[in-house]
Amino acid sequence: MAVRSTLPSSTQTHALPRDRFFNRELSRLDFDSRVLSMAEDGARPLAERIRFLAIVSDSLDDFFQVRVAGLHEQLMAPVRLTSPDGMTSEEQLDGIGERVRDLMERQSATFDGDIVPALADAGFRIVKAGDLSKANHDLLTEVFQEQIFPVLTPLAVDPAHPFPYISNLSLNLAVMVRDPRRHQPRFARVKVPPLLPRFIGLPDGERFVPLEQVIALHLPALFPGMEIVSHHYFRVTRDADLDLDDDEAEDLMAAVQAELMRKRRKGRAVRLEVGPDMSPDVLFLLLRELELGPQDVYSVTGMLDLTGLLSIQMPGNNALAARAWMPATQPRLRPQGGEPVDFFEVIRVQDLLVHHPYDSFVTSVEAFVEQAARDKDVLAIKIALYRTSGPDSPIARALKSAALSGKQVVALVELKARGDEQANIVWAKALEAAGVHVVYGLVGLKTHAKLMLVVRQEGAGVRRYAHIGTGNYNAATAGMFEDVALFTADADVTADIAELFNYLTGYSRQSRYRKLLVAPTTLRSGMLKLIQQEALKPDGRIVIKVNNLVDPEVIDALYRASQGGVRIDLIVRAICCLKPGLPGLSEAIRVRSLVGPHLEHSRIFRFGKEAGPHVLIGSSDLMPRNLDRRVEAVVPVADPDLKKEVEQFLELELADDTLAWELAGDGTWRKPAAGRGVNTQELMQRPTLGIVDVDEVQAV
């Protein structure tokens, strides 16, 4: 793949090698490996280890549903396709298979060898159905008959019954039965109901049996008069990425609903997970009916689908509890004299920066929307919603209340937010029913920007207030994800956001903005220009914090800047396709990734030395999809105090030697050498500490 460069020729000191990129898909799996290391860490609270184990399973599910499914589609393309690093689709699938099998082996070893014994010590013993006494079997039979049997639907396969459709991510039993008269074996499938508890408790309250084993124990009740020859557990993953033709969709909501239904019923199978003891005959049957090959089979030695671990609850036992911590109210938003603050006055005086989850989402973002909804002088509220917390959330209630009181309320709901399509449809309908003007974004683009604009009558005119951030308007994720956001009444920024909303909701060819960098119009060129400007300085400095760094043009610009002597630090949570520390190419570039209890989610861009650096925050990662196929918004942080706050946070992350991993030029990730024990997330949680100078960390 040829990659153009827009850098001035004076900075292009050396030719760039062809093998200058890491593979995107394999880099994503490296991130899963780092997350899995958190589950393997016996020093962490058990609840955290269980959550990380489940997160890896969920991440792999998503990876196969989207990325692996896409590679399978490439295999059928008439033209041979290669990734920017030069790998073919076949080579990528081979590499993925090797990495994923290693991850799954580590998962199973951690679960069976560490988590199960630790759970038993905490009073939650996961036991096998086959190891129980007859008395306990009888107790399980009672539970089975009353709670499980009525929900089950065994599906036979014979000349009168075709092979059933196996739904995406469902856990199943493949059962071989035999008629004692005809002695002919038959195949049947039993789906494990996803709405039932994953673990069935025994009366002692300490022992629990996986639901699939309880079902297996009672298969004779499902097939009376038949001989149970064998049973095997299996799980299927299907293509779940929406394939919409926006140009032909007159009703986007109807198109999304139809595509969701089609994917649920017809998504192509891309992975088959099985137990190690599955018979060759049953495996052959499944592969044939699912149209998969041996390379698509993943044998799991432990329990299938570890996302079910998140359902473990132990009332009255705190052994599973992680360290308790509550977010604090941002100091400038704390009540004065028992009265809540006036958000509009606070923002008029000075821009406000909030840093979640350390600063409370409830007392900042939700409180701001609620005040805007109540305020008689507020004329309009406009908000762009990508991932939400549901139609009954405080933000939804505030928007509905504002609309019912006569305010102009506009909500842009992105129906194509992957994984949240159905939830966002429900959200959109609920808002529309309350009188909110709901729009669904632009044809061919996802709206990923996180924006809110409040228009308020003040004196003889109006003033606009804005919230622009890196995270979603979702209280649940705001308590788990690390994100930053800016509240501002800056006339240029709010005018830009107003024009961006007009672009999103009406007919507009807006392509120039005063201060915002907006994708797909100005963000790519703006980022490249900022990198180029640093490349022309004798002492250039760049620090970038993103979730993913994939875009070849941006990577090449960073390489050129490094060749020109710019010192570059990249904090990349997940995917990084740039190769750091290579002589003549990236000697001045360091890459690190922080993996901790909170998901590092903010996107921060810092250009320049200490004296007057350019600092920006926003919704965009540095990937082709963000720069070219999404509506993204990045805003400069202008206030000197807030700029210093962001800079100190970045320096703290660069000093972290506890949560951090460092990337080498050969693609390996390693923990940094033991140092001062700097843990960014723990330091940020200290209410009396807040942002600290790195020089003070030693004393802390």
The CATH number given to 9-22+519-697 is 3.30.870.10
C-alpha span between 431 and 449 (Å, rounded)? 19
414 has pLDDT over 80: no
Which of the four pLDDT bands, split at 50, 70 and 90, describes residue 33?
Answer: very high
Rounded Cα distance between 121 and 619, Å, is 43
User: Is position 183 annotated as part of the catalytic site?
Assistant: no
The dihedral over CA atoms of 518, 520, 526, 529, expressed in degrees to the nearest 10, equals: 180
The predicted-structure confidence for 112-159, as pLDDT tens digits, reads as follows: 999 999 999 998 999 999 889 899 998 899 999 999 999 999 998 876
Of 99-103, 161-165, 248-252, the range with the lowest mean pLDDT is 248-252
Question: pLDDT tens-digit profile of 270-303?
Answer: 999 999 999 999 999 999 999 999 999 999 998 9
Q: pLDDT tens digits for 361-398?
A: 999 999 999 999 999 999 999 999 876 666 678 998 99
Nearest to 504 by CA among 402, 619, 385: 385
Q: Are 372 and 381 in contact (CB under 8 A)?
A: yes
Say yes or no to pLDDT of 83 above 50: yes
From 231, 232, 356, 448, active-site residue: 448
Angle in degrees, CA 49, 54, 55, rounded to 5: 95
Contacts of 101 (CB under 8 A, 6+ apart): 298
Q: Are 588 and 619 in contact (CB under 8 A)?
A: no
Tell me how many degrees the CA angle 683-687-689 measures, rounded to the nearest 5.
55
pLDDT at residue 605, as a whole number: 98
Instruction: State the pLDDT at residue 697.
Output: 52
Output the CA–CA distances (angstroms, integers) from residue 424 to 161, 436, 479, in the order listed.
37, 14, 20
* Sheet containing strand 185-191, strands side by side: 155-157, 185-191, 171-178, 227-238, 269-274, 297-299
Dist. CA 9–CA 3, nearest whole Å = 15
Cis bond upstream, residue 636 (ω within 30): no
Which pair of structure tokens corresponds to residue 515? Answer: 């201060």
CB neighbours of residue 341 within 10 Å = 17
pLDDT at 8: 47
Q: How far apart are CA 456 and CA 344, in angstroms?
A: 9
- What's the pLDDT band for 587 if we cut at 50, 70, 90? very high
Stretch among 111-115, 241-245, 498-502 having the lowest mean pLDDT: 241-245
What is the 3-state composition of the chain as percent helix, strand, coil, each rounded to the nearest 5?
A: 40, 20, 40
Q: How many percent of the chain have pLDDT more than 90? A: 69
Residues 208 and 119 sit within 8 Å (Cβ to Cβ)? no
- Determine the Cα–Cα distance for residues 57 and 303; give it in Å rounded to an integer: 11
Q: State the Cα–Cα distance between residues 239 and 290, nearest whole angstrom.
A: 12
- First CA to last CA distance, the chain: 49
> What are phi and psi for residue 381, nearest 5 degrees?
-130, 130
The H or E element spanning position 125 is: strand 125-126
Number of H helices, E strands in the chain: 22, 27
Q: Is the per-residue pLDDT at 456 higher than 90?
A: yes
Give 692's pLDDT tier (boundaries 50, 70, 90). Answer: low
Task: Quickly state the pLDDT bin for 10 (edges 50, 70, 90).
Answer: very low
Residue 117, helix vs strand vs coil: helix
| Closest-CA residue to 37 (of 26, 23, 48) | 48
Decide: 511 and 521 in contact? Cβ < 8 Å. yes
pLDDT at 263 over 70: no
Of the CA atoms within 13 Å of residue 390, those in its CB half-sphere come to: 5
Helix (H, G, I), strand (E, B) or coil at 690: coil
User: Could you please report the per-residue DSSP string of 424-448?
Assistant: HHHHHHHHHHTT-EEE---TT-EE-
The amino acid at residue 145 is Q
Q: How far apart are CA 661 and CA 642, in angstroms?
A: 27
What predicted TM-score, i.e. pTM, was given to this entire model? 0.90
Q: Where does the pLDDT of residue 78 fall: very low under 50, low under 70, confident under 90, or very high at 90 and above?
A: confident
Work out the mean pLDDT of the chain and round it to a whole number. 88
Average pLDDT over residues 587-595: 97
List every span in the chain annotated with CATH 3.30.870.10.
9-22+519-697, 331-505
Q: Is the dihedral of CA 571, 575, 577, 582 positive or negative?
A: positive
Residue 565, Ramachandran bin (φ over 0: left; ψ between -120 and 50: alpha; else beta): left
Q: Is the pLDDT of residue 257 over 70?
A: no
Question: Could you tell me the pLDDT band of residue 6, with boundaries at 50, 70 and 90?
Answer: very low
Non-local (6+) Cβ contacts of 306 within 8 A are 53, 54, 56, 57, 107, 111
Quick count: other Cβ atoms within 10 Å of Cβ 323?
A: 11
Closest to 87 measured CA to CA, from 696, 620, 652, 577: 577
| Confidence check: pLDDT of 2 > 50 | no
CATH architecture of 123-259+267-311: 2-Layer Sandwich (3.30)
Q: What is the pLDDT of residues 313-356, one digit of tens each?
A: 755 555 455 555 789 999 999 998 878 999 999 999 999 999 99
DSSP 585-619: TTTTEEEEEE-SSSEE--EEEEES-SSS-EEEEES
What 3-state class would DSSP assign to 354?
strand
Provide the token pair at 358. 């350390």
Distance (Å, whole) CA 47 – CA 562 = 42
Torsion of CA 555, 561, 566, 570, to 10 degrees: -10
Structurally, at CATH architecture level, domain 331-505 sits in 2-Layer Sandwich (3.30)
Supply the DSSP symbol for 10.
G
Q: What's the confidence (pLDDT) of residue 9?
A: 42
pLDDT higher than threshold 80 for residue 549: yes
For 568-582, what is the mean pLDDT? 98
**Residue 378 backbone dihedrals phi, psi, to 5 degrees:** -75, 125
Q: How confident is the model at residue 240 (pLDDT cuts 50, 70, 90)?
A: confident
Q: Which residues pair with 622 in a beta bridge?
A: 549
The answer to whether the Cα torsion of 359, 365, 368, 374 is positive or negative is negative
pLDDT at residue 547, as a whole number: 97
Once rounded to an integer, what is the mean pLDDT over residues 462-483?
94
Q: State the sign of the Cα–Cα–Cα–Cα dihedral 221, 223, 227, 231.
A: negative
Residue 655: closest CA among 580, 568, 592: 592
Q: How far apart are CA 472 and CA 486, in angstroms?
A: 13
Left (φ > 0), alpha (ψ -120 to 50) or beta: where does 337 sit? left
CB 416 within 8 A of CB 242: yes
pLDDT category at 249 given cuts 50, 70, 90 is very low
